[in-house]
Structure 1
Amino acid sequence: MSDNLIDETANYVLDLASPQRLSILFKLLEKESTPTEMAKKLDSTKQEVHRNFTRLTESGLIEKNLDGKYLLTTFGEVVCTQVPTLVFLSQNRKYFEEHSLGEIPHKFKMRCGQLAAGNHIKGFSKVMEQWKSIYKNADKYIYEILSEVPLDLIEPLIKRVKIGVRFNYIFSESAVVPKGRKSLLKKLGFGKLVEKGLVQRKMADNVQTVLVISEKEACVLFPDKHGESDLSEMFYSDDPMFHEWCLDYFRYCWYGSDVFKESKLKE
């Protein structure tokens, strides 16, 4: 990238470095407005809002239509799609001081603004309770990407599968498998569920990012700075955009995974 392009981009970043200008952009994303109308919405002075409208217009982010109202330009609309990523990372800066985005492809990192509506849940017990709640609320499917298997989650999951909830999951070849897993699965009739097609399984070389999705909710657990999965913290939401990101990532991993081999798992 040339120095001129870098300088130009830096100027756009400065234009966005204002809470009020960002508020104006997102308000205009919802509905066209005049500076006077916007001043009332933002509980601000007409003069201040007018100055920010002028600056955003000069930057090519907004424009005035024939009715005298302002709306986003195509450039402004695209910029608004990128801001949530900054919001997500900024809101969770402390979390990402200890965690990374792991093995996630660049195209999904670019879309992580879709996770901005997620609630940060901290503490192993709280994470497990929310995980169980996702199972309980699922009526159509449960999809998972797993690096380890918490033993107390197996029975609540299988109960849902037995009433017809489809279960697809990806296991890491190096998954941490608790003692007693095989005997518990046998006791609960897991093999028959696989035979009926209610359960489909695949395997990946190394899972770092853990995912749990139903048709209503989703959660994602990113790895620590060393690339190890961390089940003590997660982001959870029933927001459609959050869910879309998680579902798309699961599908990406599913089609890139290998055949499941139980023999590779060791208790």
Structure 2
Amino acid sequence: MINFKTHDEHIERVEDLCNVFFELSHEDRMKIMLTFQREGGVKLTSLSKTLDATTQEVYRHVSRLQKAKLVMKNVAGDYQLTSVGEQALRWVPGYRFLSAHSDYFMSHTLSVIPEEYTLRLGDLENSEFTNDVMITMFDNERMIKEAEEYIWMIMDQMMMNLYEPIKDALQRGVQVHVMRPKGWQLAEDVKKHLSDELIKALFEYNTTGKLQQREPERIDLCLFMSEKQVSSLSFITLEGKHDYIAFKSTDPVAHKWGREIYEHYWETATPAQIRV
């Protein structure tokens, strides 16, 4: 937490922050910022043509952005983003992602996710939202069937439809990592539907290390992914439950986000007792 020296200093910094948000809240000024981000240094005349606005209108907006230290004029006479402006725009994809899925995040929370990943929510911007649990289950099953290198899963429970595909993936030589709740055990009403051969095979893969299981302190999210895709990513509800209303993506940036947050939880999780 920042310790401000005086109350006046605190107020001044809040005012500066509010000023930046105010300038970015105007549609035309945001378009100008995004144009600078895309094209680099731009002259006012060129900018006015791009935005289909008068030079006077553009100059007024650019002047406001200059005053907020988001834009500057370079030695060539072109206008461009400052370092402050560049960083401000790095926050925009995250806000776009949250805004596009605001209904979802009214009932789900990010508060338990490490800040280093919530600050990068923009990496998920090109993900597809799936508001159907059955589709999510199908996507996860298909991901497992198509995986060639690895399957990584964080889940609060194992779905019945995944046992056989996981066994088949292990037989293909795919590495499988699973994170599940502490003390999790296979329910008897589920176990009776699994063949002894299947249970034995999974147990053997577990003992050889091809199937590895760990237990994090808590299940903050559910994540199913392979080397090819994130088949589902879901956050917990405000009540602390997992509903598998999820996002999916083959976008490399979203995949990198998923891989890194999985590794974060995997490294801090404890090895689980051998269970299937």
Which residue of 82, 96, 100 corresponds with 2:105? 96
1:259 Cα deviation after fit: 1.6
- Return the alpha-carbon distance in structure 2 between the equivalents of residues 135 and 216 of structure 1: 10
- Return the alpha-carbon distance in structure 2 between the equivalents of residues 128 and 206 of structure 1: 22
Contact kept in structure 2, 1:170 and 1:204, CA below 8 Å: yes
1:228 Cα deviation after fit: 0.9
Tell me the secondary structure at the aligned position of residue 180 of structure 2: strand
Within 5 Å, give how 1:157-168 maps onto structure 2. Answer: 157-168=166-177
C-alpha spacing 1:192/1:133, structure 2 compared with 1 (3 Å): same
Alignment of 1:247 with 2:259, yes or no, is yes
Alignment of 1:212 with 2:189, yes or no, is no
Q: Which runs of 5+ in 1 are unaligned?
A: none
Which residue of 141, 145, 151 corresponds with 1:136? 145
Paired letter, 2:147: A
Contact kept in structure 1, 2:203 and 2:274, CA below 8 Å: no
1:43 Cα deviation after fit: 4.5
- Return the alpha-carbon distance in structure 2 between the equivalents of residues 104 and 114 of structure 1: 15
Counterpart residue number, 1:9 = 17
Contact kept in structure 1, 2:207 and 2:274, CA below 8 Å: no
Counterpart residue number, 1:170 = 179
Give the alignment's TM-score, normalised by structure 2. 0.85
Contact kept in structure 1, 2:206 and 2:274, CA below 8 Å: no
The farther-off stretch of 133-142 and 208-217 is: 133-142
- Return the alpha-carbon distance in structure 1 between the equivalents of residues 29 and 197 of structure 2: 60
Aligned Cα RMSD in Å? Answer: 2.4
Within 5 Å, give how 1:69-148 maps onto structure 2. Answer: 69-101=78-110, 103-148=112-157
Contact kept in structure 2, 1:162 and 1:193, CA below 8 Å: no
Alignment of 1:25 with 2:37, yes or no, is no
Q: Which has the larger radius of gyration?
A: 2
Contact kept in structure 2, 1:174 and 1:206, CA below 8 Å: no
Tell me the secondary structure at the aligned position of residue 247 of structure 2: strand
1:183 Cα deviation after fit: 6.8
Contact kept in structure 1, 2:234 and 2:246, CA below 8 Å: yes
- Percent identity over the alignment? 26
- Return the alpha-carbon distance in structure 2 between the equivalents of residues 63 and 100 of structure 1: 38
- The CA deviation string for residues 210-252 of structure 1, in whole angstroms up to 9 with x for no partner, is 0112122113111111111112x10111222222222111111
Contact kept in structure 2, 1:114 and 1:245, CA below 8 Å: yes
C-alpha spacing 1:7/1:150, structure 2 compared with 1 (3 Å): same
Counterpart residue number, 1:152 = 161
- Number of aligned pairs? 263
Tell me the secondary structure at the aligned position of residue 120 of structure 1: strand
Counterpart residue number, 1:200 = 212
Q: Which runs of 5+ in 2 are unaligned?
A: 5-9
- Return the alpha-carbon distance in structure 2 between the equivalents of residues 130 and 42 of structure 1: 42
